[in-house]
Amino acid sequence: MTLKSVSLVGIVTLLTSNWTRLALLLALAALVSGCAQPGPGQIEGNVFDPYEAKNRQTHELNHALDKALARPVGVGYTKIIPDDLEDGIGNFASNLSLPSTIVNNLLQGNMEGAFRNSMRFVFNSTLGFGGLFDVAGDFDLNEISGDFGQTLYVWGVPEGAYIELLIVGPSTERAALGKAVDLFTNPLSYVLPNPDKYIGTAAGVASKVGDRGRYAETLDSILYNSADSYSQARSIFMQNRRFQLGDGDAAEEINPFDLNTEGF
Amino acid sequence: MTQVSRRKATGLIGAALATFTVAPTQAAALDTVSAKKLVDALVGEINRVIASGKSEQAMYKDFKRIFAKYGDTSYIAAYAMGNDGRRASGAQKKKFSAEFQTYISRKYGARFREFIGGRLEAKSVRPVKSWFEVTTTAFLRDEAPFTVTFLVSNRTGRDKFFNIFIEGINLLLTERTEIGAMIDRRSGNLDKMIADLRTAK
């Protein structure tokens, strides 16, 4: 069974889901351990990318979507919305997603992370006027990241292949499965009444749109100025993702004394 | 598009700062305090350039000077060229090294203004094989703090930085990917790549 079919089963399961079914999915996720692992010679530049041809097609599509839609909307949004309001929307969205992070901290047995994030949620929801202001951050109480892809990493599920998702962008099989599960890990979505729970989603989308505008120069340099934006995005995503997971060591560097620099 | 997180984007902006910073004078005697001093001094130096109100072109020149002073430029250029460096002639290597420094100064210098008001704090220093790893935390306005790591060696006889990681993103590797792709796009023609580096962003 490939990871792909497992995640398809997972998504179908989740669409009709409740917590019991989620548990079933977790069991399925455990099955994944044996799948989608690179064979010898299949890793190029430290990334396992067997779907490169298909990924590149998706990349072209994402590129076109960005050019026609995401970039102009994002840049316009940043121009029109005052900075303070934009920050407020970003904080608000990030605060509402925090309960999901806490669930993942707990699933990973990261009690300190769960505690810090809970404190953060309480402070920002109250003193920060429902999360509009990041008062906790002012006291160095910053978010400890946690998503279900990370939880799978902690549980020992392998990374799987690199994939570029439509609209979402660079990912791995494990991270993509995590994303699908994370649609259901936010306790707020079970507590809040029906129209209200979409406020967080809307704020999240607005926050992403704002990020596209805010970091326009940086993202443009990857998407539009790189000689090969696909491999550059892949390399940057993989390095950053592994760093966030604590997977691998930045010090695994070739020895500067070993490189022949004669003539340069 | 897409899924480039706020943190990652910030990291790349931090690259602007990072490229031109850190060159401890005594790697062997590095400790947290002296490393912090060095980082602070360099950030101050860069901020002075930004605050000078010079034209962007003039600022790039200043950044290039700082890069040449604190960076192990021949190592960085050799690494960026990767395996293609083996078939490069002496003249090509020399020209590439010079153009590459200008390109780096322009590419990252163009984003320095995003760093105005930010600061770096040295957190720890540890010896790794034959070099030192200086871990710092970058604080930018309205951003969650993130990690910037400098690798410093005395390969050249003087202590210079030879690589920077921003939230795990290896700047040397990023540039090697870029240069490699440029060479591929030009069917392996090194001269053409070097010439086009002049206008690359």
Q: Which two tokens stand for residue A142?
A: 């910053």
Residue A93 to residue B146: CA distance in whole angstroms: 20
Q: How many residues does chain A have?
A: 264
Residue B12 to residue B1: CA distance in whole angstroms: 16
Q: Which two tokens stand for residue B157?
A: 């006889």
pTM score = 0.80
Residue B198 to residue B124: CA distance in whole angstroms: 37
State the smallest CA–CA distance between residue B201 and chain A in angstroms: 6
Partner B contacted by A142 (CB < 8 A):
yes
Phi, psi at residue A171, to the nearest 5°? -160, 180
pLDDT tens, B149-166?
Answer: 888 888 887 778 888 888
pLDDT bin (cut points 50, 70, 90) of residue B111 is confident
Phi-psi sector, A149: left (phi>0), alpha (psi -120 to 50), beta: alpha
Place of tokens 């990291």: B11
Partner A contacted by B75 (CB < 8 A):
yes
Partner A contacted by B78 (CB < 8 A):
yes
Q: Which two tokens stand for residue B27?
A: 């790697």
Partner A contacted by B3 (CB < 8 A):
yes
Contact of B178 with A232, CB cutoff 8 Å: yes
Contact of A149 with A177, CB cutoff 8 Å: yes
pLDDT bin (cut points 50, 70, 90) of residue B36 is low
Partner B contacted by A169 (CB < 8 A):
yes
Partner B contacted by A68 (CB < 8 A):
no
Residue B70 to residue B27: CA distance in whole angstroms: 13
Q: What is the pLDDT along chain A (264 residues), one digit of tens a residue?
A: 344 444 444 444 444 445 555 555 665 555 554 446 666 555 555 789 999 999 999 999 999 999 999 999 999 999 999 989 999 999 999 999 999 999 999 999 999 999 999 999 999 999 999 999 999 998 889 999 999 999 999 999 999 999 999 999 999 999 999 999 998 998 888 888 877 778 888 888 898 888 888 888 888 888 888 999 999 999 999 999 999 998 876 556 677 778 888 888
A128 three-state secondary structure = coil
Residue B164 to residue B175: CA distance in whole angstroms: 11
pLDDT of residue A174: 95
Residue B67 to residue B53: CA distance in whole angstroms: 20
Q: Are strands A43-44 and A47-48 parallel, antiparallel or unpaired?
A: antiparallel
pLDDT of residue B19: 41
- Segment B111-125 shows an average pLDDT of 74
pLDDT of residue A189: 84
Residue A143 to residue A113: CA distance in whole angstroms: 8
pLDDT of residue A11: 44
Residue B85 has pLDDT above 80, yes or no: yes
pLDDT of residue A152: 95
Place of tokens 């420094």: B101
List, as ranges, residues 145-184 from B with C-beta within 8 Å of A: 145, 149, 151, 153, 155, 162-163, 165, 167-170, 173-174, 177-178, 181-182, 184
Residue B56 has pLDDT above 90, yes or no: no
Give the closest residue to A31 by CA, choosing from A160, A129, A140, A146: A160
User: Between residues B37 and B155, which one has the greater pLDDT?
Assistant: B155
Nearest CA in chain B to A176: B3
Helix (H) or strand (E) holding B136: strand B131-139
Nearest CA in chain A to B113: A217
pLDDT of residue A115: 97
Give the closest residue to A240 by CA, choosing from A165, A145, A157: A145
Residue A181 to residue A11: CA distance in whole angstroms: 8
pLDDT tens, B140-151?
Answer: 777 778 888 888
Residue B40 has pLDDT above 80, yes or no: no
The residue type found at B2 is T
Residue B20 to residue B105: CA distance in whole angstroms: 8
pLDDT of residue B110: 77
Give the Cα-Cα-Cα angle A88, A93, A96 (nearest 5 degrees).
125
CB neighbour list of residue A114: distance below 8 Å, 6 or more residues apart: A102, A105, A106
Q: Which residues of B touch A137 (CB under 8 A)?
A: 144
pLDDT of residue B122: 77
User: Between residues A182 and B4, which one has the greater pLDDT?
Assistant: A182
Query: Which among A221, A227, A255 has the least Cβ separation from residue B130?
Result: A255
Partner A contacted by B85 (CB < 8 A):
yes
Q: Which two tokens stand for residue A53?
A: 């041809």
* Per-residue H/E/C for B9-72: HHHHHHHHHHCCCCCCCCHHHCCHHHHHHHHHHHHHHHHHHHHCCCCHHHHHHHHHHHHHHHEC
CA B143 to each of CA A121, A211, B21, B67: distance values in angstroms, whole numbers, following the listed order? 17, 12, 20, 26
Give the closest residue to A143 by CA, choosing from A108, A202, A100, A107: A100
Q: Which two tokens stand for residue B123?
A: 């957190």
Mean pLDDT for chain B overall:
78
pLDDT tens, A146-161?
Answer: 999 999 999 999 999 9
